[in-house]
């Protein structure tokens, strides 16, 4: 029983990753497909961090500790992307 949750999460990650590829084949390079794939990757990363990395068991201070560099990276990436304006 104890290992049901990690196995279920693993299975979910595998299925959604296969799903990513399936969605890709429906229309490579289109905006809606790209958005869907990006969204799945984002959710999968969150789930991996939350359950396999055990963030859910860490105190909230660790959450903030990890959010700080993520926020800074987002600022860096957005600055890079908008350096020459929206294309």
Partner 1 sequence: MNQWIARWLYTTNHKDIGILYFVGSMYFGLIGAALALLMRVQLAFPMNTVLSASSFNQAVTLHGLIMILWFLSPLSLAFANYFMPLQIGAEDLALPRVNAFGYWLFFFGGIVASIGFLLPGGNTAGGWTAYAPFSGTTYSPGPGPTVAFAGLIMLATSITMGSVNIVLTIVHCRAPGVTWRKVPMFTWFIFFTIIAMLFSFPSFLAALVLLMSDRVLGTFYFASSTGGAILWDDLFWFFGHPEVYVVLLPAFGLIGEILPVFSSRPLAEKNIILFCTGAVVLPLSYMVWSHHMFLTGITLSESEAFSVATILISLPFDIIILAFIKTLAQASIRLTAPMIFCIGSIFLFIVGGITGVFLSSFVLDVVYNNTYFVVGHFHYVMVGAAIFGLFAGIYYYLPKITGRMYHEAMANWHFILSFIGFNVLYFPMFFLYDMPRRIYTYQSIPSWDILNFISTVGAFIFAIANILIIVNIVWTARKGPIAPPNPWGATTLEWVPHIVGASSHATGAAGAESSGYHTEHWSPRPIALSIGISISFIGLALMVYSWGFVVLLAGLAVCAYALLGWAGDDLKEKFVMHQELGETWPFSAIPKMRFGMWIFLSTDVILFGAVIGAYLFIRSNAVTWPLPGSIHEIPLGLTNTIVLLTSGLTAFLALESIKEGNQRGLIAWLGVTLVLGATFLGIKGAEWYNLYFGKGFSWTSGLPGSTYYFTVGLHAAHVTVGLLIMVYLIRKAMLGGYSKEHHVGVENFALYWAFVDIVWVFVFPLFYLL
Give me the residues that bind partner 1 (CB under 8 A), please: 2-3, 6-7, 9-10, 13-14, 17-18, 20-21, 24, 28-29, 34, 37-38, 40-41, 44-45, 48-49, 52-54, 58-59, 61-62, 65-66, 68-73, 75-77, 79-85, 87
CB of 9 vs partner 1, minimal distance in Å: 8
Would you say 6 and 52 are in contact if contact means Cβ atoms under 8 Å apart? Answer: yes
CB of 54 vs partner 1, minimal distance in Å: 8
Write down the residue that tokens 């595998």 correspond to.
Answer: 14
Best CA proximity match to 26, nearest among 15, 16, 36: 36
Angle (nearest 5°) at CA 23 between 20 and 25:
115
């Amino acid at each position: 029983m104890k290992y049901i949750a990690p196995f279920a999460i693993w299975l979910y990650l595998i299925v959604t990753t296969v799903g990513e590829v399936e969605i890709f084949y429906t229309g490579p390079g289109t905006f809606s497909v790209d958005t869907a794939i990006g969204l799945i990757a984002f959710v999968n990363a969150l789930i991996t961090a939350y359950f396999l990395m055990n963030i859910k068991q860490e105190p909230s201070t660790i959450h903030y500790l990890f959010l700080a560099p993520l926020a800074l990276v987002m600022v860096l990436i957005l600055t890079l992307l908008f350096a020459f304006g929206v294309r």
